[in-house]
A and B are shown apart, each in its own frame.
Chain A
Amino acid sequence: MSHPAPASPPAAPTPRGHYRAEPLWVPWLCLAPFILTTVVFLAWPLLQSVLLAFKQTYGPRNAVWVGLENFTFLFRDPLFWKAVGNTALFALGSVFVQLPLSLGLAMLLNRPGLRGRAVFRLVFFAPSLVGLVFVGLLFSLMFAPRTGLVNTVLHGVFPAFDPEFPWLEVYIMPALILAALWLYVGFNMVYFLAALQNVPEELLEAASLDGAGPWQRFRHVVLPEIIPIASFVVLMSLLGSLQLFELPFVLLNGGGGPDNRGLTVVMYLYQTGFITGDLGYASAIGWVLALGMAMFAFAQKRFIRRHEEN
């Protein structure tokens, strides 16, 4: 019979009769780097940006408290709402075009017996490695009038097609969605593929034995199993769309494009803060955007909780 290891001796009683564990400063000492970094680089700037949203500034020495003026102006600023509309359109494009395509590709790659799965996965995933700025430059060259690949090919195949068709003036948002599609379809496909590979095989077999067809298996077996991952991908796509900046910035040479049809909320924030120099208004835009994003995240969390409860 083995003896239990001897317990460590009890801590000595304090003069008041209480047992003292560790000195209070030890955990604080260990936490100090984190707390210091968080306060200096996160909490303090956040607090400052909240205050900034209620001011107009020209450097720290020239700040005028304007109360809610930045927010009231924002809600009647047509350019802000145009940016919101454009961003929402892009987000819808991302969710309703990009994600179904990603899921479709993932299902194709998840077919049993498919040869060269790793190669396909790499090919589809590769565009997401090149970065948004590169994609922006690439697509701006592709869509260039007369010399761009798209117009050259279309004019070559259909001579009646105008070789100077200005895609980036007429179809800004579709061009942006297309560029994002090329970039992110493979990236999201990897999430879906991982989720699909975790769908229990026996459930699918049982459904088949019960006479379920491919659509019914997808609808009643696959979809419920991948919902947590799918909702996460939807959330990430939505948040990414709301923060869209680099792609239109490069594709449209730093502007919002004709009639600001490519202006996104973050681009407007940048233009307001760093081109016009109105940092207070830019901060107000940033906080409204942050609140919007928090609402989406909250809604996703509730959706997942409800799904799990069911």
Chain B
Amino acid sequence: MSLFARLRQVYTLTTPAVWILAALGLIAAAVVFSRPASRPEGLVFWLFSRSHQEAYQPVLKKWNAARPTPASTVTDLLLDGGALERRLLSGFMSGTPVADLVELERGMAGRAFSGPVEDIGFVDLTERLREEGLMDTINAPSFGPWTSRGRIFGLPHDVHPVLLAYRSDIVEAAGIDLSTVETWDDFFRLMRPLMTDENGDGRPDRYILNFWATNGDVLEAMVLQAGGGFFDDHDRLALDTEINARVVATLATWTGGPGRISVDAPEFSAPGNTLRLRGVVLASIMPDWLAGVWKMDLPELAGKVKLMPLPAWEKGGRRTSVQGGTMLGISRRSADPEAAWEFAKRLYLDRETHAKFFASTTIIPPVRSSWDHPVFARPDPYFGGQPVGTMFIEQAAHVPRRASSPYNALARSRLNDVLLALVARVNREQITDPEVLLPETRRLLSEAQTAVQTLIHRNVFLRTEAP
């Protein structure tokens, strides 16, 4: 039988639909493979925040207008945070296409830094920053989350100092003056009369602080404020320190037992916002970015909230902390890293962009020379006419240093577990004195330290480079 006859026989065994599908498949494959992989000319810039993208447009347009050829223009692309992280890590690890410039959130950065230092996909900016004097221009603690094994891989976008927001309408109506507050003890002593039971159900209708044992972000901020943390200055795990033990034991007595003063009012959630609007929670830990979120999500609180420095853990102690963070990195695979570096500086060091960005998000820049811009001193009606920018800037130099370890989230989760175990004991035994909890806290932190250290030690890439 001839080949044609054989093929005809095969054809008759199937339906025409199969052959139509096969033909369409072949045509589609031919079209796809015949087209060269297209990539926009110039630099590609990935970001994950729409508010950032909107604030950058004037700089982007000016930059592109000043380029005679499209080779060094910049095209921005807004991606969902998770998608950005996946595409970035795939690009770094497997060589799939990745942007020239990438804006990255702190939670994602650790994972980008988890391999051998020479294989981190971002350009090492350490020498450039030194040579161009940017190490002195930019607020030093802002480099922490983007520093891995002594090398800096990102230009910091922010500082994210933390203040305390409180319901000024309720506090002032009760005649409470918070201007004398120095420590958390002072603060709770003055505020405790507001924890009354007006509906007669035997429970307070209001709680002083928005904090809960499961809230890892605030837990981290509190520990950092006290001078503790998860990793030391050499990025070595440091969970079982005395400072951490004292802070966690104290937080346990805030969260449970007869001395409880806190309530769980999670941010970005309907139940949490309801508690804030009802005045069930009187004070909240407030990084600069959250102030902008409240203005958008809780307009009903306009004029009813004020800011103050965080009460210190002890007299003369730090009155702020830090929460969140974003960097701009340059991919090592960028076709033109020099142009990308120039654009990064233009975008992140521009005074007017800083002002515009603050006006729309309440986020202050890490560039100290921009801090005297009048926009930061402008009274903010949402916060009772306070100069919110100035208040955050006053604390910016004091924000604690943070590590960039890929194990930061794990360490934080273990600290959360310790706190939860302590709260359970506080509730069970009705403990109010943190000193009673200290022996158990030290033991639990030591166990947590061992558990996390074991996992870190398994990482052969970090193991060989440990200092």
Contact = CB atoms under 8 A, between A and B. Distances in A.
Contact of B114 (A29, A73, A145, A277): A277
B4 to A, nearest CB: 13
Contact of B213 (A23, A30, A258): A258
A155 B201 contact: yes
Contacts of A61: 93, 119
Contact of B6 (A23, A256, A258): A23
Interface stretch (B46-54, B224-232, B314-322, B405-413): B405-413
A56 B458 contact: yes
B455 to A, nearest CB: 7
12 contacts: A26-B6, A58-B93, A62-B115, A147-B270, A160-B202, A164-B203, A164-B264, A169-B214, A169-B420, A258-B213, A258-B416, A281-B458
Interface in A32-64: 56, 58-62, 64
Contact of A141 (B92, B115, B271, B413): B271
A159 interface: yes
Contact of A30 (B10, B201, B274, B410): B10
B406 A59 contact: no
A60 to B, nearest CB: 6
Interface SS of chain A: loop
B196 interface: no
Contacts of B460: 56, 64, 66
Interface residues of B, number: 38
B417 A259 contact: yes
Nearest to A163: B203
Given A62-B115, A145-B264, A56 B461 contact: yes
B406 A277 contact: yes
Contacts of A160: 202
Contacts, number: 90
A14 interface: no
A56 B116 CA distance: 12
Contacts of B119: 58-59, 61-62
Interface residues of A, number: 40
A146 B202 contact: no
Interface string B269-280: 011001100001
Given A155-B201, A163-B203, A62 B280 contact: no
Contact of A277 (B111, B201, B202, B416): B111
Contacts of A281: 458
B459 interface: yes
A85 B92 CA distance: 36
B461 A275 contact: no
B28 to A, nearest CB: 14
B115 A147 contact: no
Given A61-B119, A159-B201, A146 B275 contact: yes
B92 A260 contact: no
A166 interface: yes
A276 B275 CA distance: 34
A29 B111 CA distance: 45
Interface SS of chain B: helix
A78 interface: yes
A276 B115 contact: no
Given A144-B271, A163-B203, A258-B420, 14 more contacts: A26-B6, A29-B10, A56-B461, A60-B94, A61-B93, A62-B461, A73-B458, A146-B280, A147-B270, A166-B264, A169-B214, A259-B420, A275-B409, A276-B406
Contact of B275 (A29, A147, A155, A162): A147
Contact of A147 (B93, B94, B111, B271): B271
A78 B454 CA distance: 11
B212 to A, nearest CB: 8
B417 A278 contact: no
Contacts of A56: 458-461
B421 interface: yes
Interface in B408-444: 409-410, 413, 416-417, 420-421
Contact of B417 (A66, A69, A258): A258
A169 B420 CA distance: 9
Contacts of A30: 10, 13
A126 to B, nearest CB: 24
A144 B212 CA distance: 13
Interface string A268-300: 000000011110010000000000000000000
7 closest A-B pairs by CB: A59-B93, A58-B115, A147-B271, A258-B420, A144-B271, A277-B114, A64-B460
B93 A60 contact: yes
A104 interface: no
A58 B201 contact: no
B263 interface: yes
Contacts of B409: 275
A34 B385 CA distance: 69
A148 B271 contact: yes
